[in-house]
Amino acid sequence: MPKDSKLNLTHRPRRLRRQSSRRILVEETVLRAADLIAPLFVVEGEGAPEPIASMPGVSRFNVADLVRECRELYDLGVPAVALFPKLDAKLKNPEGTEALNKATLVLRAVRAVKAAVPELTVITDVALDPYTSHGHDGVLTAAGDDVDNDLTVGILCEMAVLQAEAGVDFVAPSDMMDGRVGAIRKALDAAGYTGTGILAYSAKFNSAFYGPFRDAVGSATAAGTRLLSKATYQMNPANRREAIREVQLDVAEGADIVMVKPAGLYLDIIREVRNSTRTPVAAYQISGEYSQIQAAAQLGWLDLVRCRDESLLAIKRAGADMILTYFAKEVAKALAKK
């Protein structure tokens, strides 16, 4: 084709990309601080924040520092936090009984945060893995080769009621036991906590990317390995239709919000879930997703800010209404400067 020739084109999509003001006008997906939920880790004591080696930029906070972090997040426009405790190993046992201690760490943290920042939405995890000496999300069967579904659900109901009593806004069952959403809803209502919501980990896959989180809460140490298999209760990564079934069951049982976890590796599942329900959809950009971006950026292989923002934009574009991400604070800070 001669250098001075022109194509006879009616449609030139690049017209909409010629300058930043045009690109903004036609931008289809916008990420806001209000879309983000910050997962936070809490520990006992009064010491300085404890950096988590496998999660660069993420630390465990004592309760006082946690409160300050929550205030800062709220002031930056992040509307919600999800709290996860790291317990002393001495408090753990096969039954996870510390989870039902009315003065356990996470309940004290909830009370402190709600007293100081009452406007902030506080979410708490309902699962036994931070409390068990074996690292599983529930109580094991007598044979010790699987999690006892129904016995575990009864304990989760007690946990949820204690968390609601402490003032939490949403309980978030992440255990993947059958029937736990309906049982928790009944338990909350019976105890008078009809206003406490359920954010259900509805489609939680048995991912290989959870390792850094298990370091953060100490369940890897308890289990003796971060590679602990949870295949009998978390979902097979190969299954798409099953995810929709799990979501539909949780919605029918009373879930106020459903979640897909992980997020970035399961964008197709997020879209399928979004198309299957009118219930709000959350997605969790998990520790392994976060840490691999951080690691590649530290090696100079990727641009941290651009990859961070693109990863979150993809999750929202797939259909998530809200995103749990360890990038929440720094993204909120960046958006505040725009």
Residue 219, pLDDT score: 82
Residue 311, pLDDT score: 98
- Domain definitions of the chain by residue range: 29-336
Residue 26, pLDDT score: 95
Residue 265 token pair: 């590796």
pLDDT of 222 over the 60 cut: no
Helical (H) or strand (E) element with 260: strand 257-261
Q: Which residue blocks in the chain are alpha helix, DSSP H?
A: 20-25, 63-75, 105-116, 149-166, 180-190, 211-217, 219-223, 241-253, 267-276, 287-298, 304-318, 328-336
Q: Percent of the chain at pLDDT above 90?
A: 93
pLDDT of 167 over the 80 cut: yes
DSSP state of 218: T
Number of H helices, E strands in the chain: 12, 10
Q: How confident is the model at residue 224 (pLDDT cuts 50, 70, 90)?
A: low
Mean pLDDT (whole number) for 2-24: 90
Q: How far is CA 308 from CA 17, 209, 294, 331, in A?
A: 22, 17, 9, 8
Residue 113 token pair: 């945060």
Closest by CA position to 215, among listed 52, 96, 16, 333: 52
Q: How confident is the model at residue 228 (pLDDT cuts 50, 70, 90)?
A: confident
Q: How confident is the model at residue 292 (pLDDT cuts 50, 70, 90)?
A: very high
Q: What is the pTM of this model?
A: 0.94
Q: Across the chain, what does the average pLDDT equal? A: 95
Strands 36-42 and 322-324: parallel
d(CA 275, CA 22): 30
Residue 269, pLDDT score: 98
Closest by CA position to 207, among listed 282, 151, 266: 266
d(CA 160, CA 126): 7
pLDDT in tens, 178-218: 999 999 999 999 999 999 999 999 999 999 999 999 989 98
Q: Percent of the chain at pLDDT above 70?
A: 96
Residue 174, pLDDT score: 97
Residue 330, pLDDT score: 98
d(CA 326, CA 286): 8
Residue 46, pLDDT score: 92
pLDDT in tens, 312-330: 999 999 999 999 999 999 9
Helical (H) or strand (E) element with 124: strand 121-126
| Cβ contacts of 266 within 8 Å, gap of 6 or more | 203, 205, 260, 283
- Which residues are identified as catalytic? 204, 261
The domain 29-336 is placed in CATH, from the list 3.40.190.10, 3.40.50.720, 3.20.20.70, 3.40.50.2300, at 3.20.20.70
Residue 1, pLDDT score: 57
Residue 223, pLDDT score: 56
pLDDT of 257 over the 90 cut: yes
pLDDT of 6 over the 90 cut: no
Residue 239, pLDDT score: 98
